[in-house]
Structure 1
Amino acid sequence: MPEFNASNTAWLLVSSALVLLMTPGLALFYGGLNRSKGVLNMMMMSFATIGLVSVLWLFYGFSAAFGSDTAGGLLGSLGDYPGWNTYLAETDLWGTTGIPVYVFMAFQATFAIITVALISGAVSDRMKFAGWLIFAAGWATLVYFPVAHWIWGGGWIATKLHALDFAGGTAVHINAGAAALGLVLVLGKRAGWPGQGFRPHNVPFVALGAGLLWFGWFGFNAGSELTVDAVTGLAFINTLVATAAALLGWIIVEWIRDKKPTLVGASSGAVAGLVAITPACGFIEPWAGVVLGLVAGIVCALAVSLKYKLGYDDSLDVVGVHFVGGWIGSLWLGLFATNEVNAAIGDVVGASDGLFYGGGVTQLGRQAAASGVVTVYSLGIAALIALVLKAVKLLRTSTDAEVDGIDLAEHAEAGYDLSTGSGGTGGAFALAGIAPSQSSASASPPAEAPVAEQVTS
């Protein structure tokens, strides 16, 4: 029987706090990329997700993801960790780590939260807030909780397919990116997109959000080892160097193509690197992490322009960064994963070394299969939930709400009050001498290139 381990527990508590900070960081990142008249709605989606998913996770999500395997590897037992029980006995430790169940539960809750919140960046300015909450609850229940079990909870992807995912390339980023695509295909394009201006309204917010994400991601990746050992350090250094290389890769693309590097590009490149290194950080050597980051920065910088060619309105490039970056990181394991840095690849997971370490293409095929299954499942369920919401008229706001500003329509508040009076949601409009219904010209930036065009065109 394992004994309580103070160092492992302390590290996972710190990591849990770091990962939770990532969701407010995401709110700033997405909020800055959004137009000013939708900044609060965009940020509210992330903050509300913290509230919603935390409660679902306690009562049944954790048990569904990490309970004993049922249904042939598809779901954990809902009776193992129901939220109305308590887990405070000395024997309530997680596996062999010496970590209390509640600490591991909290750590994994922060993963569930940010995975759902990531999807929101694709639907800015046009989705009803009530619809978002229903979608988030449904997708978390039907997709994230089962997929987390498949990959980390003893389900079929880990135990039968033997695919690798150290901290969430498939479970988090491919999963969320595929859901974002399924949702926007049903939701449709923003009014005026891509012909009107959809520039970021606050670039310092974008950089601050990216910095908080990078900071919190050390807990996300290094914390996923669960213990304090050499692999923890490996995941930590890979998170640093791969992200740095991706930042450079993205701005190199800008420099060559557009003659000017941008702060939005540097921030987006950092996020692309964080996404790509997530599944691989505990399984590859740091030099391979640098190459991975560079490839991810370059490919994601080019991939965000696909929405203009293919005609889907992914507002803040969730597909181009998280979906594409997640696939790159997952496949990278089939090339560069090695038992030399983490014996758990073979001893625990039953996986093979990557192609360039003598393992052939076996692991590459496993990674592609796992990523493909999660892509199809997540996209399909997300689209189905969206179709139901559309049928009951809970999916999309009115065109007037989009034009006047979704912040006012959905939350009766504005992100910025520039008046010298006592405040209130009408202050900024009163200063300009216009009614709220005429506010789109004052609340949104002038017509210029869409967000991704600043970075990629």
Structure 2
Amino acid sequence: MRKIILSVILITILLLSIFSISFITESKILGAHVVELKMDSGDTAWMIVATAFVLLMTPGLGFFYGGMVGKKNVISTMLQSFMAMVIVTILWVVIAFGLCFGPSIGGFIGDPTSNIFFNGVSANTAWDMAPTIPFLLFALFQAKFAIITPALITGAFAERVRFWAYLLFMVLFILIIYAPLCHMTWHPDGLFFGWGVLDFAGGTVVHMSAGWAALAGAMFLGKRKIQKVSPARITYVLLGTGLLWFGWFGFNAGSAVGAGSLAAQALGTTTVAAASAAMAWVFLDKILGHKLSAMGACIGAVVGLVAITPAAGFVSMPHALAIGIIAAVISNLVVSKFPKGKIDDALDVFACHGVGGMVGMLLTGVFASNAVNTAVGDNQGLIFGDATLFLTQLKALILVSVFAFVGSYILFFIVNKITPLRVTEEKEELGLDISQHGEYL
């Protein structure tokens, strides 16, 4: 039955892609926010590079997670990230981009018919929020954010998830959780955008959604048979961290959608926050009586990168340093206090990405300055004496948390009804590399 369904899906996508035509008029395809392109070769060149940087983050995440799991699950864990690049790219072109950036339906979701199969997504027009780069390039840049988000979730249910069930969950997550959050946050007619929520590069859209979905997945799938395993390759973790840090420059500085001063500011705050968080993590470990470990340094750096993501283009360098330290201390304490005996978040995705994202969102409401970015407007951060932005960030944080956690838990329930999410004890003992893929290191 599964072979028949997969064959039908492949044939349908193939036929639609070959014979697809515009079902709506050109003016409706373009939509209210697609404008004439005012090409800037520098902006375009930078955004092509930034798009490649962000894509590199997903293989980097594969190494980061793959090095942390047991030796019997390295290939499967890394393949989960790789397949996100495959599945989400196709899904993005077919329908998901329209759900995120198509004409708004009530501020909650985009009209998918406007850009189905990338109809109207032209290299000769532009998105009005990025008028100097082709609309097609903007769409491809945004695709990389969608790709890494479900890949982040996989660390929570590592070493026990059935691969086909994960693929199905990934599709549903992009369509039902990611797309509405992306639209509400980054579309000019989106609900959160209208409230004045500041999320420069994905605190709500990427990290909080992935963190809460990870917690839901860990709770739904239950504990591994053996929770404490030796990391397979700490050198993979170091390599993955380096690739993530490198790619994050595209993630954050690329979100300026141009090669100007704002991109430089975001690049600077990104590297400062990563460095300060890594320092704070290993210092705190030492204070608490632990050894200074490579794993700790790597996890700390990633937490800093997560926390600065929503704030990268809104805060100063000293405040970026503070964000990294604060996020690392909080996430480190959450990791140490997390009830691992009850909830098996295998690679601490919620404590690092979920908590890191929430800390970053709130600290954006504390430190955002219109001296750094005029888009902040009159409602600056709490440190400047105005609580309006902080309360707006807090309101969005609460709504996103509830939506992402409850929605993801429901999706896990639905997927499990269609096909079992968890492997059998025998296959878990054998390892996912062999049981799911017939391969081994």
CA contact (8 A) 2:39 2:132 kept: yes
1:68–1:86: structure 2 CA closer, same or farther, 3 Å change rule? closer
CA distance in 1, matches of 2:47, 2:351: 31
Q: Among residues 85, 98, 113, which one is paired with 1:79 in the alignment?
A: 113
Q: TM-score, normalised by structure 1?
A: 0.86
1:210–1:87: structure 2 CA closer, same or farther, 3 Å change rule? same
CA distance in 1, matches of 2:219, 2:419: 16
Aligned to 1:97, what secondary structure does the other structure show?
A: coil
2:55 paired with 1:55: no
Specify the code of the residue in structure 2 equivalent to 1:352: N
For residue 358 of structure 1, what is the aligned residue in structure 2?
385
1:2–1:101: structure 2 CA closer, same or farther, 3 Å change rule? closer
CA distance in 1, matches of 2:73, 2:422: 14
Aligned to 2:439, what secondary structure does the other structure show?
A: coil
1:46-445 pair list within 5 angstroms: 46-70=81-105, 72-83=106-117, 85=119, 87-88=121-122, 90=124, 92-95=125-128, 96-193=130-227, 197-308=228-339, 311-346=342-377, 352-359=379-386, 361-414=387-440, 416=441
1:30–1:232: structure 2 CA closer, same or farther, 3 Å change rule? same
CA distance in 1, matches of 2:370, 2:123: 36
Aligned to 1:305, what secondary structure does the other structure show?
A: helix
1:155–1:306: structure 2 CA closer, same or farther, 3 Å change rule? farther
For residue 62 of structure 2, what is the aligned residue in structure 1?
27
Specify the code of the residue in structure 1 equivalent to 2:281: W
**What 5-or-longer segments of structure 1 have no aligned partner?**
417-457
Aligned to 2:346, what secondary structure does the other structure show?
A: coil
2:70 paired with 1:43: no
Which deviates more, 45-54 or 303-312?
A: 303-312
Aligned to 1:93, what secondary structure does the other structure show?
A: strand
Distance apart, 1:309 and its partner CA = 5.7
Aligned to 2:154, what secondary structure does the other structure show?
A: helix
CA contact (8 A) 2:186 2:193 kept: no
Deviations 1:199-219 (A, max 9, x none): 211100001000100000000
| Coordinate RMSD, CA, aligned | 1.4
Specify the code of the residue in structure 2 equivalent to 1:221: N
CA distance in 2, matches of 1:93, 1:330: 29
Aligned to 1:121, what secondary structure does the other structure show?
A: coil
Aligned to 2:98, what secondary structure does the other structure show?
A: helix
Distance apart, 1:340 and its partner CA = 0.9
Number of equivalences: 405
**Percent identical residues:** 39
CA contact (8 A) 2:282 2:297 kept: yes
CA distance in 1, matches of 2:431, 2:355: 30
1:50–1:122: structure 2 CA closer, same or farther, 3 Å change rule? same
CA distance in 1, matches of 2:68, 2:290: 22
Specify the code of the residue in structure 2 equivalent to 1:293: G
CA distance in 1, matches of 2:66, 2:334: 21
Aligned to 2:200, what secondary structure does the other structure show?
A: coil
Distance apart, 1:259 and its partner CA = 4.1
Distance apart, 1:242 and its partner CA = 0.7
Specify the code of the residue in structure 2 equivalent to 1:66: F
CA contact (8 A) 1:157 1:370 kept: no
